[in-house]
Amino acid sequence: MPDKTYDVLVVGSVNADLVVRVDRRPAAGETVLGSDLATYPGGKGANQAVAAARLGGRVAFLGRAGTDGQGDFLRDALRGDGVDITHLITTPGPSGVALITLGPDGDNSIIVSPGANGRVTEEDVTAAGPLFAAASVVSLQMEVPLDAVLAAARAAEAAGARVVFNLSPPAAVPDELLALCDPLVVNEHEAAFLGASDPAGLLARGPRSVVITKGADGAVVADGDGVIEVPSPRVEAVDTTGAGDAFTGALSWRLARGDDLATAARFAARVGAAAVRVAGAQSSFPRPADLEDM
């Protein structure tokens, strides 16, 4: 790919992750005791940006954060990892927050309050037009409004940037958006939401390529040349929060550097596995030295 100012432009969400560990999740109407509350920087968009930046990527971010204390915390976290936040717009009101319950086996349940993320607009995308021409890959998710996501995908296509679209959380999206994806990245639940559990079925929906992530079982990659299984290193999971974002951020960066899809996915699987070994989302994301034993 021709050299650009940025390897990856992320258009997406920034959230404060409020995490409580529990021995078991409460049933309806039940109260259980949990751990002390821990607060981490998160949000699918910010997570993917930090994952790519920590690996050495040149990353820019487009989104919105609030005027509360969480907004300052989130801006500082992105800036501290070297992400260009020139287009992280300050929005009156609360920032996005994710309420995360973490079980003893490292799995999680998440409720997201969008806050400022819900105010990202098509106009924000238009105003940041030169960013799209400056990026090799544009990474998108679904924690900001669909109109903004579709506008960003169109802007990326017009600028000649590759669109990596993580359909998470799952939602109905137009065929036009799916047709711009290269790849569409989904986990097995998100694939089922689209009505297809296999790569061929997903490709029939229109994306140029597909990656299905399968947690500890790695990923499946599919494009016009066929289907490839990508294994994941075996590790002891401490906290799976953000592992999918670590995978997608790493995938986006390696695609920007010129890897083919299968090679990028193999690297991304190592990054995702490294992330589950440490608590938190962004706090768990590896740097190159952390991958040497993978």
The single-letter code of the amino acid at 269 is A
Could you give the number of structural domains in the chain? 1
In three-state secondary structure terms, 20 is strand
- Percent of the chain residues past pLDDT 90, beyond the cut: 81
Within-domain flag for 29: no
Within-domain flag for 237: yes
- Supply φ then ψ for residue 154, to 5 degrees: -65, -40
Mean pLDDT across 126-146: 97
SS (H, E, C) 235-248: CCCCCCCCHHHHHH
In the predicted structure, residue 159 carries a pLDDT above the cut 60: yes
Query: Which tens digits make up the pLDDT trace of 262-272?
Result: 999 999 999 99
In the predicted structure, residue 2 carries a pLDDT above the cut 70: no
What residue numbers does the annotated binding site for ATP cover?
A: 187, 213-218, 244-245
Share of the chain residues as helix, strand and coil, in percent rounded to the nearest 5 = 35, 25, 35
Residues annotated as catalytic are 245
Both tokens of 142, joined, read 């679904």
Mean pLDDT across 186-205: 93
* Angstrom distance (rounded) from CA 137 to CA 59: 10
Domain that holds residue 116: 6-23+36-282
In the predicted structure, residue 129 carries a pLDDT above the cut 90: yes
The pLDDT, as a whole number, for residue 1 is 47
What residue numbers does the annotated binding site cover?
A: 15-17, 43-47, 143, 187, 213-218, 239, 241, 244-245, 275, 278, 280, 284
- Percent of the chain residues past pLDDT 70, beyond the cut: 99
Between the alpha carbon of residue 22 and those of residues 15, 108, 115, 282, 284, the distances in Å are 21, 10, 26, 21, 20
What residue numbers does the annotated binding site for K(+) cover?
A: 239, 241, 275, 278, 280, 284
Q: Are 148 and 132 in contact (CB under 8 A)?
A: no
Within-domain flag for 31: no
Which of the pair, 199 or 240, is modelled with greater confidence?
199
In the predicted structure, residue 38 carries a pLDDT above the cut 50: yes
In three-state secondary structure terms, 87 is strand
* Angstrom distance (rounded) from CA 152 to CA 163: 9
Query: Which tens digits make up the pLDDT trace of 165-179?
Result: 999 999 999 999 999
User: Which residue is listed with tokens 């990527």?
Assistant: 57
What residue numbers does the annotated binding site for substrate cover?
A: 15-17, 43-47, 143, 245
Query: Which tens digits make up the pLDDT trace of 225-252?
Result: 899 999 988 888 887 778 999 999 999 9
DSSP 22: B
Within-domain flag for 290: no
The pLDDT, as a whole number, for residue 139 is 98
Q: E-strand spans in 114-161?
A: 135-140
Within-domain flag for 207: yes
Q: Can you give the CATH number for the domain in which 161 is found?
A: 3.40.1190.20
For the chain, give me the number of helices (H) and strands (E)? Answer: 10, 13
Mean pLDDT across 116-141: 97
Within-domain flag for 291: no
In the predicted structure, residue 103 carries a pLDDT above the cut 90: no
> Nearest to residue 281, comparing CAs of 250, 253, 245, 251?
245
* Phi-psi label, residue 200: left if phi above 0, alpha if psi -120 to 50, beta otherwise: alpha
Both tokens of 197, joined, read 């559990």
Q: pLDDT-derived band of residue 281, with 50, 70 and 90 as boundaries?
A: confident
Mean pLDDT across 5-28: 94
Mean pLDDT across 46-50: 97
Mean pLDDT across 113-132: 97
pTM of the model: 0.92
Within-domain flag for 128: yes
Mean pLDDT of the chain: 94
Q: Are 184 and 161 in contact (CB under 8 A)?
A: no
Within-domain flag for 28: no
- Supply φ then ψ for residue 124, to 5 degrees: -60, -40
The single-letter code of the amino acid at 58 is R
Q: pLDDT-derived band of residue 106, with 50, 70 and 90 as boundaries?
A: confident
Q: Are 20 and 241 in contact (CB under 8 A)?
A: no
